[in-house]
Amino acid sequence: MESVAAEGLVVRPSRVNDGPFLQSLYQTARADLQWIDGEPEQVQQVVAQQFQVQEQGMGAHFPNAMHYVVEKLGTAIGALSADFGPNEIRVLYLAFIPQARGQGYGRAVLQGVQKAAQQIRCPVATVVWASNPHARQHYLALGFEVQERNPAAERLVWYPKGS
């Protein structure tokens, strides 16, 4: 059964012209970047550099990752990056604009990923930073389990039923 949050929700492949949206989303998703003290131009430059580092790192470690924009009724509200590897689907990045947070959209997107994983009998994994207990709580509520833990982050995995 589709949730109310999922109504009008579309996850589509990202396009080149999504760049400005994705960069501004990245800035709002990185609370630590909100505290940079400096001229607005300097702050934007640091954010742009950090965004590039993330993009290049993802590309280097997960060259086959798929990148999506989440839209609600035609308006971009979030992004998802996932790597569909041979042994697992790895959620690399999931973020929403501040106005879209707490409304069940992330849950709806993750349940879609879980549904795809269930069909191919493949686990879903992600890494959640210790600085993001809110995300951790959401993953655990969706049935993810802590598989590895270190002071900086946890690797969480969801296993499809019957696998």
- For 58-85, the pLDDT digits (tens) are 556 678 889 999 999 999 999 999 999 8
User: Are 50 and 30 a contacting pair, CB within 8 Å?
Assistant: yes
Q: Which residue has the higher pLDDT, 35 or 127?
A: 127
Between residues 150 and 48, which one has the greater pLDDT? 150
Q: For residue 19, is it within any domain?
A: yes
Residue linked to tokens 């993810």: 144
- pLDDT at residue 63, rounded to an integer: 81
Number of domains in the chain: 1
Percentage of residues of the chain with pLDDT beyond 90: 55
Mean pLDDT of the chain: 83
Question: Would residue 95 count as lying in a domain?
Answer: yes
The average pLDDT across 130-154 equals 93
Task: Give per-residue pLDDT as tens, 11-30.
Answer: 999 998 998 898 888 777 66
pLDDT of residue 51: 54
Q: Which CATH number characterizes residue 24's domain?
A: 3.40.630.30
- Determine contact, residues 106/139, Cβ cutoff 8 Å: no
SS3 65: coil
Q: Is residue 163 one of the residues assigned to a domain?
A: no
Structure confidence at residue 100 as a pLDDT band (50, 70, 90): very high
Residue type, 52: Q
79 lies in which domain range?
Answer: 4-158
Confidence (pLDDT) at 52: 63
Residue 121 belongs to some domain of the structure: yes
Is 14 inside any structural domain? yes
φ and ψ at residue 81, rounded to 5 degrees: -125, 130
